[in-house]
Amino acid sequence: MEQAVAARHRAYAPYSNFTVGCAIMLENGIVVTGNNQENAAYPSGLCAERVAIFAAGAQYPGVAIKEMALTASPKDDTLKIPVPPCGACRQAIAEYENNQQQPIVIHFMGASGTVAKASSLKDLLPLIFDQSYL
Ligand code: THU
């Protein structure tokens, strides 16, 4: 979570002023971080979770993800309640959890305060659409 907080402070969020940081712990001990990257063409931006998990997949393909830590708040750090990942990020995380056949533990908080924990992405997104339907 410390690395997620540091990543949040590097976020590029000039339009929403809502900053998000994500740190991913791989089974080899390496931590990959990401943060939200916004764009003047708003839909072209990307959430912190997907920046981080795609970076992990790009740099360490086939290396299992053990845990993810998320922190999110307006830039003024006022949000003190846990912020769960958005639906699109849950779908993206599900692909990795399914492929590695072991759960990804997800810890999430606001700028500080209570840290909520999901023991698996499946706890946040039941009835997942995955490649088995294709
Ligand atoms: N955002 C994330 O980075 N992760 C989420 O799970 C929810 C939203 C970002 C996207 C946008 O840059 C800002 O937060 C406001 O929606």
Nearest-atom number in ligand 1 for the CA of 88 is 6
**49: annotated active-site residue:** yes
What confidence category does residue 13 fall into, taking pLDDT thresholds of 50, 70 and 90?
very high
Identify the pLDDT of residue 128: 96
What confidence category does residue 48 fall into, taking pLDDT thresholds of 50, 70 and 90?
very high
In short, whether 16's Cβ falls inside 6 Å of ligand 1 is: yes
In short, whether 54's Cβ falls inside 6 Å of ligand 1 is: no
What confidence category does residue 126 fall into, taking pLDDT thresholds of 50, 70 and 90?
very high
Identify the pLDDT of residue 26: 98
Which residues are paired to 48 by β-bridges?
none
Domain boundaries, the chain: 2-133
Which residues are paired to 68 by β-bridges?
24, 106
Task: State the Cα angle at 134 between 124 and 49, rounded to 5°.
Answer: 35
CATH of domain 2-133: 3.40.140.10
Instruction: Enter the DSSP assignment of 84.
Output: P
In short, whether 18's Cβ falls inside 6 Å of ligand 1 is: yes
Cβ proximity of 110 and 116 under 8 Å: no
Helix/strand/coil for 49: helix
Q: What is the mean predicted confidence (pLDDT) over 86-104?
A: 98
In short, whether 47's Cβ falls inside 6 Å of ligand 1 is: yes
Q: What is the mean predicted confidence (pLDDT) over 119-130?
A: 97
**CA 30 to centroid of ligand 1, rounded, Å:** 24
Cα 13 from chain centroid (whole Å)? 16
Q: Which amino acid, 26?
A: L
Average pLDDT, the chain: 98
Q: What is the mean predicted confidence (pLDDT) over 37-66?
A: 98
